[in-house]
Amino acid sequence: MIQRNDWSLQRKGIIDQERHKERVREAIRQNLGSIVSNEAIILSDGKKTVRVPIRSLEEYKFRFDYRKRRHVGQGDGKTKVGDVIAREGQGGPGAGAGPAGQEAGSEYYEAEVEIDEIAALIFEDLHLPFLEEKAKRAVPSRATRFTEIRRTGILANLDKRRMILENIKRNARERNDPRFGNVKKEDLRFKAWEEIPHYESNAVVIAMMDVSGSMGEFKKYIARSFYFWMVRFLRTKYDNVDIVFISHHTEAREVTEEQFFTQGESGGTVVSSAYRLALDIIRERYNPRDWNIYPFHFSDGDNYYSDNEEAVRLADELIATCNLFGYGEIGEEGGAGYRRSSGALLSIFNDRLKNKERFVGVRIDDKEDVYPALRQFFGKRGEL
C-alpha cells in the first residue's frame, strides 16, 4: 500500500541515479580487459574520460492506446497460466528472422566515465605481493590533528567556543557584565594543527623493457600499456615506492620515465645486460635488508642464444634478492595459437630457474591479456 507520506517516492530521482551508477560500474567491470588496453587512455594525459557502452535501462510502466483501441495487456479470456506470450528478441507480426537480421536489437549508449573511477575499479584488488616489514620512511600524511590553542592564526582555524568564553570572561572582569558582546582582538583563539606522522615500509619497483629491433609496434604498445597501469597503481595505492626505469637492447641503461615510454626500438637483444644493471642498482641504492624489491621485465622472448645461460643465472640471483620477479613475454598480435620456439625466454625460465616460488611468468598475445597480467603480478595471494 502506498501512503501519501511515503517519502521514498520523493527520492525516486536519487534512487534512479544510484541504480544508473551501479549499472555503469557493472559495465566497467565486465569490460576491464578492453578498457585497460584502450589506446586513448594509454596515450592521454591521465585527465580525460573514456566512453563505456552501457545497455539501456527502462522503467516498468503501463502504456495505453490513446486511440481507444485495444489496451496493452488486455487479453481475450482464453489464456491460462504458463502460456508463452513472446520470446526475447522476437518481433511483431510480419517481423521474420531472415538472414538480413530483421529482429530488434538491444539498445546501448555510451557513458563517459572519469579515468580515476576506472582506475579505482582496476586497482581495488591489487597490491604489492609478499610485502614485508622493513625499514620505514615517513611519507606525506593525509590526516591532521589540533594540538594547541594560540592567540594568533588564520580565520579558518578560529575556535569559536573558546573565543566566546574569553569574551565573556573579559566582559565580566572589565564591566562586571558576563555576557557575550563587543568582541576584541584579544578574545580571539585559534587552533594550531599538525600532520599525523605516517610511515610505510620501503619498496622499489624496477621496470625493465626490451627496446630491441624485434619489438614492433604491437609488442611495444603492450609493454607500455602494462607499465602505464602499473605506475598509476603504485602511485595511487602507495606513498613510499620508488620506481626505476631500465630499457635495453644489447646494452642496458637507466632512463627517465618519459624516455621509457617514448623510446623507439633498434638493435639486437641481450637480456642479461638489463638484469646485471638491475642488480648493480640494488647493490648501490636499495639494500635488501631495508627495501622490498620488485623487478619486472617485458620482452618478446627473443634473446641472443649464447646469453640465455647468463640470463637464467642473473634471474635466479634477482629472485634470491627480491620479493617477487615478474616476467612478461609478448607474442605476435592475435597469436594465441603461436607455437613457442625452444629459444623463447619464458619456456627457458620455466625449465631452468631454481627458485620459482617468487617468480611469475605470463604470456601476452592480445591487448585484452594486459589486465589478466596485472592481476597475476599484483593479485592477492595466500600469504595475506
303 and 258 in a common domain: yes
Q: What is the pLDDT of residue 43?
A: 62
Q: How confident is the model at residue 340 (pLDDT cuts 50, 70, 90)?
A: very low
Domain total for the chain?
A: 3
Q: Is residue 243 part of a domain?
A: yes
Tens of pLDDT, residue by residue over 65-104, are 556 555 555 566 677 776 766 654 444 444 444 455 565 5
Q: Is residue 370 part of a domain?
A: yes
| Residue 343 belongs to domain spanning | 200-378
Q: Is residue 100 part of a domain?
A: no
Q: What is the pLDDT of residue 242?
A: 93
pTM, whole model, 2 decimals? 0.67
315 and 252 in a common domain: yes
Q: Determine which helix (DSSP H) or strand (DSSP E) holds 191, and give its type and residue range.
A: strand 190-195
188 and 263 in a common domain: no
Q: Is residue 28 over pLDDT 70?
A: yes
Phi, psi torsion values for 55, nearest 5 degrees: -70, 135
Q: Is residue 114 over pLDDT 90?
A: no
Average pLDDT of the chain is 79
Q: Is residue 39 part of a domain?
A: yes
315 and 174 in a common domain: no
Helices (H) and strands (E) in the chain, counts: 11, 12
DSSP states of 21-67: HHHHHHHHHHTHHHHHT-HHHHTS-S--EEEEEEE----------TT
Q: How confident is the model at residue 56 (pLDDT cuts 50, 70, 90)?
A: low
The HSE-up count of residue 296 (CA atoms within 13 Å, CB side) is 23
153 and 46 in a common domain: no
